[in-house]
Amino acid sequence: MSIRSINTPCIGLCSTVYGDLVCRGCKRFHHEVVGWNAQNILEQQRIRQRLDDLLVQAMQSRFQIFDVSLLQQQLARREMIFHKNRSPYCSAYPLLVKGARFIQRLQAYGLAVVQEHQGKELWVLLTEVDRVFFQSSEIHYQQHCAGLRAVSSDL
């Protein structure tokens, strides 16, 4: 694995340039966005794992993957990547975002909406997933970084 084998999680919607401490696009913290290229591979992997964990939690609150092979087929059909070393929810999310307006039968993708959220439009569910993902990232920042930021500004 090369030192630059992990690409940036950036999705091109950075809000840290506007002063957000947590990016509304990729959900990384401001200091992680700014220092990404200076971080070593282990630091990048740690950040990616945190983002994956938070995204999976948000996705599982709305969706269930019942057939990973169907999901893989749909990703291949659209020339999208199935990340074998990550949760299938991490591959399902961009597929759903890309297809939110045209997907009619979620079951054809190996996915189902969890019981308590059935009846909602796919784009509504994805908006909720993004909101939960962002809020979870903000909470994580408050719990693990906000105090460090205050201490470093006092020095």
The parts of the chain modelled with pLDDT lower than 70 are 1-6, 146-155
What is the pTM (predicted TM-score) of this model?
0.86
Helices (H), 78-115: 88-99
pLDDT of residue 58: 98
Overall size of the chain counted in residues: 155
Return the bridge partners of 65, or none. 111
Query: Under DSSP, is residue 111 helix (H, G, I), strand (E, B) or coil?
Result: strand
Instruction: Give which of 127, 94, 92 is closest to 106, Cα–Cα.
Output: 92
pLDDT of residue 147: 64
